[in-house]
Amino acid sequence: MLSKEYLDSWNELCAECKMVESDLANPSEAWLTKILMSYLRMFGYRVEVPCSEDGTRERRQFLIKLVRHIDHIYKISDKSFMFTYYDLLRPTPKKTSHMLGILLNYLYYMNMFKTNVFKMATDKLKERQELIDEIKYTIEEMKRGVVKQKRCKKR
């Protein structure tokens, strides 16, 4: 089971989909699908549930794509982990808790990575802008010097 700390962290990061211990103790397909969709949205995926009824081909394809995305993220942490279509249809508390813990850690890692990358990019952009401003200032100074020299030659 996920600890209270993980649940609080999850609920803090994912405001659209609150998680409580009772849901995690007895997970259902609908609940897990909702949690995983909100998780993928945090990464910028456009995830929309088809309007069709349960059991239709369109709905099954949607669930298969959802499983494939989650399995890809799940395997980034360790190749031995697998998330299957069956794990979504018949979720167990132990497997669901383990998977959500790993996904939460990956989300923290990605947020930390983005922060570092954006900080480095911002620093480089500031440095670039300072160099551009310095070059413009130097060009203006050179133009003023050329104008002064021409005035001196005319006299």
Average pLDDT, the chain: 83
- Predicted local distance difference test score (pLDDT) of residue 23: 81
- Predicted local distance difference test score (pLDDT) of residue 80: 82
CA dihedral 55, 86, 74, 41 (to 10 degrees): 20
In the chain, where are the structural domains located? Answer: 4-116
Q: Cβ of 94: how many Cβ atoms within 10 Å?
A: 9
Closest-CA residue to 100 (of 10, 38, 30): 10
Per-residue pLDDT tens over the stretch 86-135: 998 999 988 888 888 888 888 888 888 877 778 888 888 888 999 999 99
Report, at the CATH architecture level, how domain 4-116 is classified: Orthogonal Bundle (1.10)
More confident site: 52 or 71: 71
